[in-house]
Amino acid sequence: MWFVTLGTYLIKGDIGATDAQSGLAYGTQCLGAIIAPFIIGLIADKYFAAQKILAVLHLVGAGLLYFISQNSEFSSFYVLLLIYMVLYMPTLALTNSIALHQISDAEKQFSGIRLWGTIGWIAAGQIVGYMAWEANPGSLILPFVAAATSLILGVYSFSCQIHHLLSLVKTLVLGKC
């Protein structure tokens, strides 16, 4: 939701970035995708449940997005954005892993899940346009919305873990293994 409008936010907003700096900022996604497997990939599923890692990554990401929104100089913005992307990129694979683990027939069901993900992306873009959040790039509303969304996803990921644990306890208590 916020990544598409990042160029406008950087160039026309308080940071006043150059076109080259805007390109560097967009490049953090690629760097995050390259670096993340070496950091998060080493601990995912081996030491912690995917939902727990997903929750922590989103909660830390929410904090980073908040601090990103408070920056008015490109150098600190860039460093925080790179750290955020290193933490964000594994969430894409983790959500796929969680979804595939939860469904019974991946060939038939997963395409529908991805379809709704695409529809959600389009809807978020339409909301940004309808609310005219990109029209005022100096406004902090979009980074705050992104931080709040990340916070909600982090809390939701922990709640899914709690629901799973409660289900497991119920199954063990009732003896329906």
- For 97-130, write each residue's pLDDT tens digit: 888 888 888 888 899 888 998 998 898 888 877 8
Instruction: Give the single-character DSSP code of 25.
Output: H
Q: Write out the two tokens for 160.
A: 């899914």
Q: Write out the two tokens for 155.
A: 């809390």
- For 10-67, write each residue's pLDDT tens digit: 888 888 899 999 999 999 999 999 999 888 877 776 788 888 899 999 999 999 999 9
pLDDT confidence of residue 63: 96
Residues 92, 145: Cα–Cα separation, whole Å: 19
Distances in whole angstroms, Cα of residue 167 to Cα of each of 44, 78, 127, 153, 163: 23, 43, 36, 21, 6
Q: Which domains does the chain have, with CATH numbers?
A: 6-174 (1.20.1250.20)
